[in-house]
Amino acid sequence: MKQVAIKGIIPPIITPMNEDESINVTELKNQVNRQIDAGVHALFCFGTNGEGYILDAKEKQLVLETVVEETNGRVPVYAGTGCISTKETIEQSKMAMAAGADVLSIITPSFAQASQNEIYTHYCRVAEAVDMPIVLYNIPARTGNAIAPETVGRLAAVENIVGAKDSSGNFANMLGYISAGKQADPNFAVLSGNDQLIIWALLAGGTGGIAGCANVYPETMSSIYDLFVEGKVEEARVVNESIASFRACFKYGNPNTIVKTAVALLGYPVGKCRAPFNQVSEEGIAAIRRVLETNAANGMK
């Protein structure tokens, strides 16, 4: 199994699309280099911001192979391979392994309600099928299923389940993951899936964050982790708080739609999110423009 340090600021890289909603491979490569040049610590394909929920299997393979090739080992590449069924999750995980991904991030099954034992069994079966590091992915608002801290503790004892991303927005839940995970494995890593909680996760023993806002502000977001590691905790906190104005724009639409719209407004031809999740009102666009201009004047990039 690959040994990969699960740490730092990891953008769930957006998937650029052409007007016909096909994958814009050229711009995807550009975004890979933009992110790495800005100092991010890894890249994550098929997160919510990467629209993994709406890409088919061939598109996912194309995106992942493109990112792995363009990254060329400069930073680790994570692949989101979770599906509703255990069978398809294993298929996607094997695809990602063959494509050269370094880490799998596996979201919980969705739509149908799952018991904690079903969630545990699901992850165990996937872990048995691939010889790769796995990061659990908890985002109950989107999937309808949450991984309990106790289940994280059980799964942390599985050799290749090495971490968890918590996007619940519930800091107490994240603390539960850190505690339960480290009891089973002192090296178990917990990543914040909520951008505003990254500094607090680091202070509590977490190792970083999978940060959607890094698509807009890769250098700013990366500096949160770098400053923290340097012992400049107060500076890191101030930087983390600086994204609040942009996150306030999420009220105008689906957060990943707002993020992709913002990247487009910065001048990158990333296209819109795939329909139907692609509408932002004129009021929202105007608000995003104002925030981008203000933040640029403040040195955010």
* Residue 87 annotated among the catalytic residues of the structure: no
Gap between the Cα atoms of 90 and 202, Å rounded: 31
- Given the residues 53, 78, 123, 137, select the one marked as catalytic: 137
Compute the distance between CA of residue 73 and CA of residue 231 in angstroms, rounded to an integer. Answer: 28
- Report in angstroms the alpha-carbon separations of 211 from 3, 21, 153, 180, 207: 22, 24, 24, 23, 13
**Which of 2, 103, 101, 10 lies closest to 50, judged by CA?**
10
Catalytic annotation, pick one of 120, 165, 252, 260: 165
How many angstroms separate the CA atoms of 91 and 83, rounded? 10
Query: Is 78 a catalytic site residue?
Result: no
Residues 107 and 146: their CA atoms lie apart, in Å, by 10
User: How far from the centroid of its chain's Cα atoms is residue 199's Cα?
Assistant: 16
Tokens of 143: 């999937």
Long-range contacts of 195-200 (CB under 8 A, 24+ apart): 195/221, 195/240, 195/243, 195/247, 196/240, 196/241, 196/243, 196/244, 196/247, 197/169, 197/171, 198/9, 198/224, 198/225, 198/240, 199/224, 199/228, 199/233, 199/236, 199/237, 199/240, 200/171
The CA distance from 101 to 79, in Å, is 6
Residue by residue, DSSP assigns 200-216 as HHHHTT--EEE-GGGGT
10 Å CB burial of residue 264 (0-12, 13-18, 19+) is: middle
Provide the annotated active-site residues. 137, 165
